[in-house]
Amino acid sequence: MHRIVLPDIKNLQEIDVYLANEGYYGARLAFQKSPDDIIEIVKKSGLRGRGGAAFLTGLKWSFMPKVTNKPKYLCVNGDESEPGSFKDRQIFEFNPHQLIEGILITCYAIGAQTAYIYIRGEYHKWIKPVQKAIDEAYNNGFIGSRMKETFGTQFSCDIFIHKGAGAYICGEESSLMNSIEGQRAYPRVKPPFPAQNGLWGNPTTINNVETITNVPPIIKNGSEWFSSIGEPKHPGTLLFGVSGHVNKPGVYELPTGTLLTDIIEKYAGGVINAKRIKCIIPGGTSMPPLKGDSIEGLKMDAESLRAAGSAIGTGGIIVMDEDTDLVKVLARMTKFYYHESCGQCTPCREGTGWMLKILKRILDGKGTKSDLDLLISIANNIDGNTVCALGEAAAWPVKFTIARFRDEFENRVNESIQIPVNNKVHSMRKTKNPIDNIEIR
């Protein structure tokens, strides 16, 4: 089995060990080719983004303008705030040099002189090994002005870490750029796209940490080697983070197309106490949840999951056993999106709050059947009506959890609205729900 991003080599985070294992050889090879060749190799390899949208990486790079008098930038997205995702921190801790090498190659391909690694603020512990690796790479002449001597190339670039400060929205690429610029991290309206108008108005590419870390092995081994691993339409490996009710939660690097049931049973040690799975989220909480009895034979790659009515997201798998209270889970997820909504778009800012109120009501046993449709109606009004994808991220769990587990929700709500104060007029009409009786002609 191939492990591309987290090879099974001890102390690979040490620069000596990394160098002894063909470290920075990929960059050396890359600098002997033209930038266009590199983009072509990555395009051919079929590498797709690991941050959630699974967009073709080589294609994204090719959007960068070839001729421009503006400085170009690369942003590496290590915000990793999606609940259920904890993969990038493994790269920061165990393989930071491969990330740096990937950044060098990417910067060369797109012509960027500066790269920012955006790491979430909570990751104090994981910023340190990355900073240490960057310092070592500078000292060895792998980054910065000495690259010309080290690699015999005219190209050079700088790498800086930008530490976030606790805002989920910064994982969205345009918010991330606003955050690096030191603004409130509101998402930007697109177009213009970052490749034309990104950091400080300059051409910018944003890639996920895991995506970039895949680049050096692709350059070393060729695009055909990479595209032969896993599923042809979504090749390579993925870092699957398994959490929830499993015996051995953790991050497992496996080829795309690995069966979800295999990941749970063979790698994550199966469900605790061998219980049945009620619900499973395949790619972080923003992705539609699946019913536990619908995952037999389901492959973990972008296309298979789309066909199954969900999405690969960040590969963060959350397993919930048969005793899980899904109303509570959905309320907790919605609380998250309510807390993290940046407040820029009304549907998301207000809608997440309304959904939370209603879910809390259902959780307290005071919900009614009409609340379920109301929730879906609010979710539909958020979905597609916001500047960024956090709108969908908040709406999808509500829509799909209720649609797929309607029974469970219906069991928790009352048939009719309970009016706390006895209303004489309505009680005379002898209806449970006074609104039903109002006719407008």
Partner 1 sequence: MEFKFSEENLQKIASVQKNYPDKRSSIMPVLYIAQEQNGWISHEVMAEVAHLLEIPESEVYGVVTFYTMYHKKQVGKFHLQVCTNVSCMLRGGYDIWNKIKDKYNLEDGGVTQDGKLSLEEVECMGSCGSAPMIAINEDYFENLTPEKVIEIIDSLK
Nearer Cβ to partner 1 (28/412)? 412
Q: Is 291 near partner 1 (CB under 8 A)?
A: no
Looking at residue 77, what DSSP letter applies? E
Taking CB under 8 A as the binding criterion, the range among 14-22, 80-88, 300-308, 385-393 that sits at the site for partner 1 is 80-88
Contact 397, 286 (CB under 8 A): yes
CB of 1 to partner 1, least distance (A): 20
Q: Is 315 near partner 1 (CB under 8 A)?
A: no
CB of 165 to partner 1, least distance (A): 4
Q: Is 245 near partner 1 (CB under 8 A)?
A: yes
Looking at residue 261, what DSSP letter applies? H
Taking CB under 8 A as the binding criterion, the range among 11-19, 41-49, 315-323, 378-386 that sits at the site for partner 1 is 315-323
- In the list 5, 130, 242, 398, the residue contacting partner 1 (rule: CB under 8 A) is 242
Q: Is 333 near partner 1 (CB under 8 A)?
A: yes
- In the list 5, 23, 51, 80, the residue contacting partner 1 (rule: CB under 8 A) is 80
Percent helix / strand / coil, the chain, rounded to 5: 45, 15, 40
Q: Is 328 near partner 1 (CB under 8 A)?
A: yes
Residues 8 and 31: their CA atoms lie apart, in Å, by 27
Taking CB under 8 A as the binding criterion, the range among 54-62, 133-141, 300-308, 334-342 that sits at the site for partner 1 is 334-342
- In the list 332, 360, 366, 404, the residue contacting partner 1 (rule: CB under 8 A) is 332
- In the list 16, 20, 124, 145, the residue contacting partner 1 (rule: CB under 8 A) is 124
Asked if omega into 35 is within 30° of 0 (cis), the reply is no
Q: Is 82 near partner 1 (CB under 8 A)?
A: yes
Asked if omega into 191 is within 30° of 0 (cis), the reply is yes
What string of H, E and C letters represents the secondary structure of 377-435? HHHHHHCCCCCCCHHHHHHHHHHHHHHHCHHHHHCCCECCCCCCCCCHHHHHHCCCCHH
Q: Is 241 near partner 1 (CB under 8 A)?
A: yes
What string of H, E and C letters represents the secondary structure of 151-216? HCCCCCCEEEEEECCCCHHHHCHHHHHHHHCCCCCCCCCCCCCCCCCCHHHCCEEEEEHHHHHCHH
Nearer Cβ to partner 1 (95/227)? 95
Q: Is 401 near partner 1 (CB under 8 A)?
A: no
Q: What are phi and psi of 160, to 5 degrees?
A: -125, 150
Q: Is 85 near partner 1 (CB under 8 A)?
A: yes
Q: What are phi and psi of 175, to 5 degrees?
A: -65, -40
Q: Which structure tokens are listed for 147?
A: 């690259």
Query: Count residues contacting partner 1 (CB under 8 A)?
Result: 54
| Axis-axis angle for helices 369-382, 346-363 (nearest 10) | 160
Helix H or strand E encompassing 32: helix 25-32
Taking CB under 8 A as the binding criterion, the range among 44-52, 181-189, 216-224, 379-387 that sits at the site for partner 1 is 181-189
Interface pattern 342-381 for partner 1 (x via CB under 8 A):
x---------------------------------------
Cβ-based neighbour number of residue 426 at 10 Å? 15
Q: Which structure tokens are listed for 111?
A: 């012509």
Cβ-based neighbour number of residue 383 at 10 Å? 19
CB of 267 to partner 1, least distance (A): 12
Q: Is 164 near partner 1 (CB under 8 A)?
A: yes
CB of 314 to partner 1, least distance (A): 11
Sorted by sequence, the CB contacts under 8 Å of residue 12 that are 6+ apart come out as 18, 21, 94, 95, 97, 98
CB of 326 to partner 1, least distance (A): 11
Nearer Cβ to partner 1 (83/257)? 83
- In the list 60, 162, 234, 399, the residue contacting partner 1 (rule: CB under 8 A) is 162
CB of 316 to partner 1, least distance (A): 7
Residues 61 and 344: their CA atoms lie apart, in Å, by 29
Sheet strands (E) in 200-340? 204-208, 230-231, 234-235, 237-244, 250-255, 277-281, 290-291, 316-321
Q: Is 123 near partner 1 (CB under 8 A)?
A: yes
CB of 104 to partner 1, least distance (A): 17
Residue 421: how many CA atoms within 13 Å on its side-chain side? Answer: 3
Contact residues for partner 1 (CB under 8 A)?
A: 71, 80-86, 88-89, 120-125, 160, 162-168, 179-185, 200, 241-245, 249-251, 281, 285, 316, 318, 320, 324, 328-329, 332-333, 336, 339-340, 342
